[in-house]
């Protein structure tokens, strides 16, 4: 009879899929919805289901176990193993080596098949985009003095420094005002598109190029926030930071792929070709850096452009084939690596800052915060700075608390609850720095970097709350009539 096996034959259990297993309460991750209706292919990557070719779609999830063969010799009780295909192996074969191998296989499957931290990556993208956009808009009246044709740091001086450190900027391609205005306002547009998540593969590259170009044009007008944005803009290009909370995600959910991405890809390719072979770059788009023994920016930009074209071609002609599955796995693995590097950078920033503060005499005696509160440069609200600077006990506690939090943060990552508490303290501290010391861009950049450690459940609740506020209909107050 179909669907049954002979007596004594073990029944095959249905396959539970990658990453299946018991889950503790409170360990819900992005996309772990549990049993339910089939998801569209665009959402399967978020729940850890890698895209499979259409040729493999009809195969069964589990191979049925063969029934017991009549007349076979019985297995002795307490044997060291079992027959192949009849159950788990016990004894030396199922020792620590097998357990480690199985764990590595599960980890590799999850690392290549699940997009880790999609909501955290989206918050990081929005936060960095807002920080850079706020800086550009704040400095717009003085943009020509900071980075343009009126800057005291002339193009000749900037060129000498760039030749020594090998940094990249497009502002040295021309000294005219028109070119500078084009680059500056393109940076504003790229930051806005990154915040909105529109064509993020292209806008992310424009965000990186324009940010590096402006900052490397004059390195003497930045602060700690500029350094964070400088580093994170490169890693952000390698992440899949627009899978949620973006215009790209909305377009994919609606099934509208459009042709705007192909047109933008062609325009950027033409611009890169003109810069590379038209003599406009002045040698800044070298294949090998002249100042350092490593590749220049040309391999990076051309590689990103070629990969984007390959992605569009595969989606056009093999949307459900093996090439798409391979590209999905590679892109997912690259995203996970980049997000891990961003998290490691945040840990290094806090750990090095904390341990260097421990060695400073002003931090040791608890008076480090007192001095910036009495500097006009860090006093946007003089009355507030005077009020806090005159209270010696709060200054002492905040100084020691800052050192303790920064030194302890890397060690709290092993405990989720302690990490979340310390994360809230650090974000509140950066908000205070933005208000009291007048460093909003630095604070926003650090808060955006800290967001990579935020719990997924908190982000989901925040997103649901914002969606509810946006979609909630207006309710008239009691006792009032709605006008007709």
> Measuring CA to CA, which residue among 413, 448, 453, 459 is closest to residue 31?
459
Per-residue confidence (pLDDT) for residue 342, from 0 to 100: 96
Per-residue confidence (pLDDT) for residue 55, from 0 to 100: 43
Q: Are 205 and 301 in contact (CB under 8 A)?
A: yes
Residue with tokens 């961003």: 342
Per-residue confidence (pLDDT) for residue 36, from 0 to 100: 45
pTM higher than 0.95: no
Q: Where are the beta strands (DSSP E) in 357-439?
A: none
Per-residue confidence (pLDDT) for residue 412, from 0 to 100: 92
CA distance 472 to 466: 10
Per-residue confidence (pLDDT) for residue 472, from 0 to 100: 55
Per-residue confidence (pLDDT) for residue 262, from 0 to 100: 86
CA-based radius of gyration for the chain: 28
Query: Phi first, then psi: what are they for 339, rounded to 5°?
Result: -65, -35
CA distance 199 to 272: 18
In whole angstroms, how far apart are CA 18 and each of 101, 138, 464? 15, 48, 28
Q: Are 330 and 223 in contact (CB under 8 A)?
A: no
Per-residue confidence (pLDDT) for residue 96, from 0 to 100: 83
CA distance 356 to 399: 14
What's the burial of 269, exposed, middle or buried (CB within 10 Å: 0-12/13-18/19+)?
middle
CA distance 57 to 60: 8
Per-residue confidence (pLDDT) for residue 285, from 0 to 100: 80
Rounded to the nearest 10°, the torsion over CA 162, 165, 169, 174 is: 10
Tens of pLDDT along the chain (484 residues)? 444 434 444 444 444 443 444 444 444 444 344 444 455 554 444 444 444 444 444 444 444 444 444 444 444 444 444 444 444 444 454 578 888 888 888 888 888 888 899 999 999 999 999 999 999 999 999 999 999 989 999 989 998 898 888 888 999 888 889 999 999 999 999 999 999 999 999 999 999 999 999 999 999 888 778 889 999 999 999 999 999 999 999 998 887 766 778 889 999 999 999 888 877 776 678 787 766 677 778 899 999 999 999 998 998 888 888 888 999 999 999 999 999 999 999 999 999 999 999 999 999 999 999 999 989 888 899 999 989 888 889 999 999 999 999 999 999 999 999 999 999 999 999 999 999 999 999 999 999 999 999 999 999 999 888 877 665 554 444 544 444 4
Q: Are 299 and 289 in contact (CB under 8 A)?
A: no
Per-residue confidence (pLDDT) for residue 103, from 0 to 100: 86
Per-residue confidence (pLDDT) for residue 291, from 0 to 100: 65
CA distance 275 to 179: 13
Per-residue confidence (pLDDT) for residue 73, from 0 to 100: 44
């Amino acid at each position: 009879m179909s669907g049954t096996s002979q007596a004594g034959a073990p029944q095959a259990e249905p396959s539970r899929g990658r990453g299946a297993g018991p889950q503790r309460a409170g360990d819900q991750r992005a996309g772990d919805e549990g049993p339910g209706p089939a998801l569209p292919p665009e959402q399967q990557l978020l729940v850890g289901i890698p895209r499979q070719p259409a040729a493999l779609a009809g195969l069964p999830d589990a191979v049925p176990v063969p029934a017991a063969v009549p007349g076979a010799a019985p297995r002795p009780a307490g044997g060291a193993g079992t027959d192949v295909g009849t159950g788990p192996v016990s004894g030396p074969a199922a020792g620590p080596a097998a357990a480690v191998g199985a764990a590595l296989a599960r980890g590799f499957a999850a690392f290549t098949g699940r997009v880790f931290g999609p909501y955290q990556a989206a918050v990081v993208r929005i936060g960095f985009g807002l920080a850079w956009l706020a800086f550009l808009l704040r400095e717009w009246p003085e943009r020509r003095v900071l980075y343009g044709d009126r800057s005291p740091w002339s193009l000749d001086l900037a060129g000498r420094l760039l030749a020594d450190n090998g940094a990249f900027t497009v502002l040295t391609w021309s000294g005219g005002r028109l070119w500078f205005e084009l680059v500056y306002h393109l940076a504003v547009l790229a930051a806005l598109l990154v915040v909105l998540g529109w064509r993020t593969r292209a806008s992310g590259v424009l965000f990186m190029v324009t940010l590096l170009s402006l900052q490397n044009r004059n390195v003497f007008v930045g602060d700690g926030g500029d350094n964070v944005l400088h580093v994170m803009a490169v890693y952000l290009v390698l992440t899949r930071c627009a899978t949620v909370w973006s215009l790209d995600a909305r377009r994919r959910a609606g099934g509208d792929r459009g042709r705007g991405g192909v047109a933008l890809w062609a325009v950027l390719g033409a611009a890169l070709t003109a810069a590379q072979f038209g003599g406009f770059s002045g040698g800044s788009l070298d294949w090998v850096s002249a100042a350092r023994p490593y590749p220049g920016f040309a391999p990076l930009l051309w590689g990103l452009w070629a990969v984007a074209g390959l992605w569009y071609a595969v989606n056009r002609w093999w949307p459900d084939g093996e090439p798409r599955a391979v590209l999905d796995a590679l892109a997912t693995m690259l995203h996970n690596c980049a997000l891990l590097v961003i998290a490691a950078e945040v840990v290094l920033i806090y750990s090095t800052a904390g341990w260097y503060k421990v060695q400073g005499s002003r931090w040791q005696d608890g008076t480090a915060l007192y001095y910036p509160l009495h500097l006009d440069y860090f006093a946007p609200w003089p009355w507030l700075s005077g009020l806090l600077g005159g209270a010696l006990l709060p200054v002492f506690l905040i100084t020691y608390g800052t050192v303790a939090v920064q030194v302890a943060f890397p060690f709290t990552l092993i405990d989720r609850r302690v990490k979340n508490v310390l994360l809230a303290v650090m974000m509140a501290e950066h908000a205070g720095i933005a208000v009291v010391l007048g460093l909003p861009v630095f604070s926003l950049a650090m808060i955006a970097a800290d967001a990579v450690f935020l719990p997924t459940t908190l982000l989901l609740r925040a997103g649901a709350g914002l969606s509810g506020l946006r979609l909630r209909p207006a309710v008239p107050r009691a006792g009032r009539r709605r006008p007709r």
